[in-house]
Amino acid sequence: MILFAIFLGMIALAASAVFSGSEIGFYRVPRIRLKLDALDGDRTARYYLWLANNPAFFVATVLVGNNIANNLISMATVLFVQGVFPVEYHGFVMELASSLLLAPFLFIYGELFPKYIFLHAPNRFLRLLSPILIFCFVLLLPLTSLLWLLNRLVFRLFGRSREYIQLTLARNELGRAFDEGREAGVLAVSQRRLADGVFDAASQKVRDMVVPFSQFPVIGADTSREEILECARSRRLDELPVFHGETPIGYVRAIDLELAALASVSHEDGLPIRDFVEIDDDYSPLAAMALFQSTRESLGCVVEQGKNVCIGVLHSDRLRDLLMKC
The last residue of a domain, from among 159, 178, 193: 159
Is the residue at 200 inside a domain?
A: no
Tens of pLDDT, residues 264-299: 766 666 788 888 888 887 787 778 878 887 888 888
CB neighbours of residue 34 within 10 Å: 23
The last residue of a domain, from among 159, 187, 215: 159
Instruction: Give 270's Cβ-side CA count (13 Å radius).
Output: 7
Give the CA diameter of the chain. 112
Instruction: Please report the beta strands in the chain, taking only residues with DSSP state E, as ranges in sequence order.
Output: 239-244, 247-253, 277-280, 299-304, 309-315
Identity of residue 285: P
CATH of the domain at 216: 3.10.580.10
Whole-number Å distance between alpha carbons of 302 and 207: 7
Q: Which of 121, 120, 136, 103 is nearest to 18 (CA)?
A: 136
* pTM > 0.85: yes or no: no
Confidence of residue 326 (pLDDT cuts 50, 70, 90): very low
Is the residue at 246 inside a domain?
A: yes
Please provide the average confidence, as pLDDT, over all residues in the chain: 79
34/162: higher pLDDT: 34
The last residue of a domain, from among 159, 192, 215: 159
Whole-number Å distance between alpha carbons of 157 and 137: 27
33/192: higher pLDDT: 33
Q: Which domain holds residue 125?
A: 2-159
> Do 106 and 241 belong to one domain?
no
Mapped onto helix, strand or coil, the DSSP state of residue 220 is: strand
The domain tally of the chain equals: 2
Sign of CA dihedral 31, 111, 179, 123: negative
Average pLDDT over residues 7-23: 88
> Do 138 and 38 belong to one domain?
yes
